Every structure is written in structure tokens, then in C-alpha cells.
């Protein structure tokens, strides 16, 4: 089954799609010659430019061009994998041989194998993911300098900088298996960030801002990125400590993404079949308030998480994972699905553009609705247990009274459990942060314990 892949100009960055497909074909042929009952092979290439500027001077400048190929072979239900960055004929043969040698000495695993051929992508849509910038080092440095300078000049309290960074990378992914699937797609990713340090009589504070997009024209203006980094840094000056209390909490959109990420970990197949998730056996049960919907949109044009097929060649498709607060699906690859007695959901390699529904309220509306409580703008530490759902993390943010921000706060700990936090969502604002594959607005949660030293 050869998939229908849209024709694109693959030579803008020197990626040789035909050669990559030929390498995959060669590896699969070598695997068959060595007696493998099934095999899958992939090629990945990336090329790009990264520059870091600090206080107007170039800190680092890096050009990279990487390539890798990998092969996984199956002898019945025994599996072996090997990889190399050498595309030469000898290296390809040796890599396949290494994978076969490994497979012959591994134990049988009844779930080891390729994805169901009926679920492989038969038509690969053009998702508009490939937009090479073609930017040179001189221009990249100039943009980074412009970004940092705008931030440093925007407020007299900005006394230092951790710098501005610009990155532009393009990539090619090719995958094939012995079911006859062959597919590839090109993609690009560009970003600009700035981190600044503010200082007054109360001390120093740092904060940052960034923009990321598939197309360079979709990036925020460099000066706007710098000024926003400065605004956030000085807003944190004069931070106070809190007394221990239980209050409603708003997780700003970029921090709320982390909560959505914890949910994704809890529904991921590897955690589920290992019985290491608090959402094990919760399909069909309410997890969130009835107003909440979470859906996956893998074919979103220019989406940062878009993909026409997953890492096993399985076709991606739009679906609801949570509907009216009820958990409707997991995120499974073929192996996890087999272990759980289910079918793959096309999530080998992760989820693709997960959106959580929002209410028609702004961030300011959320603050007014909360009245008195806490806005969380940063969390730190590793105090999240996906097995039990326990949540305890250091944080900083702002104290709110009568719906208005009163002062910044720092050095406190937030504590609750993820099930309680999910059920306790009062509203989700429409300030969607689209700078990642998990898209959400700010969350208002009814109550959490805030502990301060």
C-alpha cells in the first residue's frame, strides 16, 4: 500500500525525498532477505539555524544538519531495533543485521508487531506545514538584537538580560513498513524568544516571552516580543509572600497547558497498560465538568502538532477525547492498544493538536468571577504523580482582590489532586495560547491549598 503524498518542493533545504524513500526501501528489503517476518523503517532529517544574542552581542550561533535512519524488525513476535546516521550501503546492511541479531535474542511478546494494515494512511493530506524561511545568520542576529533592544529600552527597571534567541528549522520525515506503506512529509518550525531581568529596591525578577510558528510570517513582531518580556519581568517586582490559605486559583493559559499535559500523560497507553495512571479504567466516566470538551485536530493547517500519520503510519483523525466532561478515549499506539485489548488511536509519538473548550469570557472576566484568589504564572518542581493524581508544585503569580490584581506573590506551594482540579474547573477563558500542540485558555479552579514558608 503506497500512500498518496502531496507533491511539494523538497529541494529548498536540500532534502532528498527520493533518496530517503530509496533508503527505506533498501532497509525493508534487507530485513526480508535476513528472514524477518515484518519490518518498519524511517528516515528523519533536520536542518536549521539558531542564534542567541545577549546585551546586543552574539552569544552563540549554530548551524545544524542532522539525519538518521532506523529499522525495527520482527521475527514472529520477537523485536529488534537499530539506527545509524550513515546512509551508505555498508552501514545500511550492518544496521539491519544488528536489528536482526537483537530480535533473535529477545523474548516473545505477543503484542510486538506492526500496526493493523487497515488503519494505515491511504491518502496523506497537505497540511501546509512546510515554509522554509531561508534566513541567513546576519539577518537572524539583527532580529534577535531588535527583539532584545526593544525590551531593554521599554522600561527603566530592566537592568539586565538573559538574551534573545531566534531559531529556524526544517525537517523531513519518511516512514515505510512491510505492509506496503510508504509516506513522507516536510515541516518547518520557527521561533523567537526573549528573557529579561527587572530590578528595583525590592530586588530582581526575570520573565520571558516567545513566539513560534510554522510560517515565519505568523511570528509576532520582534519588538512586541521584547516589550512583552519586559512587561512581565517588571510586573513581578515587589513580590510578597502569602500566608497559608485555601483559595480559588487561575492558571494562566501558558501554565494551564501543563495541566492539560498531565491529562495527556494520564490517558497515554504506556502509563495505562503499566497501571501507572489515575485514569485507568475511567472510560465512560465524568472527569471534568459537563461543559468541558477536549478534542484532537491532527489535520489543522499549519498546526504545531499536525501530522497526516503517526509514527507507525496509522492515519490520524479528528476525534473527541472528552465529551460533556466524560472521558471517551485514550491516546494509544498499536502496542499499548494490544496490551489493553483495544485498537490504536493513531497516537504513536503523541497527540496532535489537542484543544480544550472555552467559555466566552476574557481573562479579566475570569478574575472578576474569582473575586479574591490567586493567579499562577509560573510553576516549578516535579511534584506531580500521574499514578495517584497528587499535585504539589512551587509557584509564583499575583494576588487578586475584588477581581483586580493587587500585587505579585512568590515562593509558595500549590497542593491538590489532579482529579479534584479537573472537577473543580469553574470556567476556561477565551485567551487561547496556540504556541504548542496543546491549546487552552486560562483555567479558573474552585479551590486549592496555598502553603507558604
Q: Are 444 and 235 in contact (CB under 8 A)?
A: no
Residues 418, 421, 427, 430, Cα dihedral to 10°: -30
pLDDT at 9 (0 to 100): 40
Distance separating alpha carbons of residues 14 and 283, to the nearest angstrom = 46
pLDDT band at 452 (very low <50, low <70, confident <90, very high): confident
User: Following DSSP, what letter does each residue of 162-210 receive, concatenated?
Assistant: EEEEEEEEEEEEEEEETTS-EEEEEEEEEEEEEEEEEEETTEEEEEEEE
Distance separating alpha carbons of residues 329 and 320, to the nearest angstrom = 7
pLDDT (tens digit, 9 = 90+) per residue, 139-198?
999 999 999 999 999 999 999 999 999 999 999 999 999 999 999 999 999 999 999 999
Q: Are 356 and 384 in contact (CB under 8 A)?
A: no
pLDDT at 273 (0 to 100): 98
Residue % of the chain over a pLDDT of 70: 97
Q: Which helix (H) or strand (E) holds 70?
A: strand 57-75
Mean pLDDT, residues 69-80 taken together: 97
Q: Which fold has domain 17-235?
A: PmbA/TldD fold (3.30.2290)
Name the residue ranges covered by the structural domains of the chain. Answer: 17-235, 245-452
> From the CB of residue 103, how many other CB atoms can be counted at a distance below 10 Å?
26
CA distances from 209 to 194, 229, 231, 311, 345 (A): 6, 5, 10, 31, 34
pLDDT at 77 (0 to 100): 96
pLDDT at 8 (0 to 100): 41
pLDDT (tens digit, 9 = 90+) per residue, 359-376?
999 999 999 999 999 999
Mean pLDDT, residues 49-76 taken together: 97
pLDDT at 453 (0 to 100): 64
pLDDT at 313 (0 to 100): 98
When the pLDDT of each residue in the chain is averaged and rounded to a whole number, the result is 95
pLDDT at 1 over 60: no
pLDDT at 13 (0 to 100): 53
Amino acid at each position: 500500500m503506497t500512500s498518496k503524498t502531496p507533491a511539494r518542493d523538497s529541494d529548498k533545504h536540500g532534502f532528498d525525498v527520493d533518496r530517503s524513500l530509496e533508503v527505506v526501501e533498501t532497509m525493508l528489503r534487507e530485513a526480508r532477505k535476513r528472514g524477518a517476518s515484518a519490518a518498519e523503517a524511517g528516515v528523519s532529517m533536520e536542518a536549521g539555524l539558531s542564534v542567541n544574542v545577549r546585551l546586543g552581542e552574539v552569544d552563540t550561533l549554530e548551524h545544524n544538519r542532522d539525519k538518521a535512519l532506523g529499522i525495527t524488525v520482527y521475527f514472529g513476535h520477537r523485536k529488534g531495533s537499530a539506527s545509524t546516521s550513515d546512509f551508505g550501503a555498508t552501514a545500511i546492511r550492518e544496521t539491519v543485521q544488528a536489528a536482526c541479531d537483537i530480535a533473535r535474542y529477545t523474548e516473545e511478546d505477543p503484542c510486538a508487531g506492526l500496526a493493523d494494515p487497515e488503519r494505515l494512511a491511504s491518502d496523506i493530506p497537505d497540511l501546509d506545514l512546510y515554509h522554509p524561511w531561508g534566513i541567513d545568520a546576519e539577518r537572524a542576529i539583527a532580529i534577535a538584537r531588535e527583539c532584545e533592544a526593544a525590551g531593554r529600552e521599554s522600561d527603566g527597571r530592566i537592568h539586565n538580560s538573559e538574551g534573545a534567541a531566534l531559531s529556524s528549522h526544517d525537517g523531513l520525515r519518511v516512514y515505510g513498513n512491510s505492509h506496503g506503506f510508504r509516506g513522507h512529509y516536510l515541516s518547518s518550525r520557527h521561533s523567537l524568544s526573549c528573557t529579561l531581568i527587572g530590578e528595583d529596591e525590592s530586588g530582581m525578577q526575570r520573565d520571558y516571552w516567545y513566539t513560534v510558528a510554522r510560517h515565519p510570517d505568523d511570528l509576532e513582531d520582534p519588538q512586541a516580543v521584547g516589550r512583552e518580556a519586559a512587561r512581565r519581568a517588571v510586573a513581578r517586582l515587589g513580590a510578597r509572600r502569602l500566608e497559608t490559605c485555601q483559595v480559588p486559583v487561575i492558571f494562566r493559559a501558558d501554565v494551564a497547558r501543563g495541566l492539560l499535559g498531565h491529562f495527556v500523560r494520564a490517558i497515554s497507553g504506556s502509563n495505562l497498560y503499566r497501571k501507572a495512571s489515575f485514569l485507568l479504567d475511567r472510560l465512560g466516566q465524568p472527569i471534568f465538568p459537563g461543559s468541558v470538551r477536549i478534542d484532537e485536530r491532527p489535520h489543522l493547517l499549519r498546526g504545531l502538532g499536525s501530522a497526516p500519520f503517526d509514527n507507525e503510519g496509522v492515519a490520524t483523525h479528528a476525534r473527541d477525547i472528552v465529551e460533556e466532561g466524560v472521558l471517551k478515549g485514550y491516546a494509544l499506539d498499536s502496542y499499548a492498544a494490544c496490551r489493553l485489548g483495544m485498537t490504536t488511536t493513531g497516537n504513536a509519538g503523541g497527540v496532535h493538536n489537542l484543544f480544550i473548550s472555552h467559555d466566552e469570557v476574557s481573562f479579566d472576566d475570569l478574575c472578576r468571577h474569582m473575586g479574591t484568589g490567586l493567579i499562577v504564572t509560573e510553576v516549578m518542581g516535579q511534584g506531580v504523580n500521574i499514578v495517584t493524581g497528587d499535585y504539589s508544585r512551587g509557584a509564583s503569580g499575583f494576588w487578586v482582590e475584588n477581581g483586580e490584581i493587587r500585587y505579585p506573590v512568590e515562593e509558595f506551594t500549590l497542593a491538590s489532586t489532579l482529579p479534584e482540579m479537573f472537577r473543580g474547573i469553574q470556567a476556561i477563558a477565551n485567551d487561547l495560547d496556540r504556541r504548542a500542540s496543546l491549546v487552552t485558555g486560562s483555567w479558573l479552579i474552585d479551590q486549592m491549598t496555598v502553603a507558604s514558608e
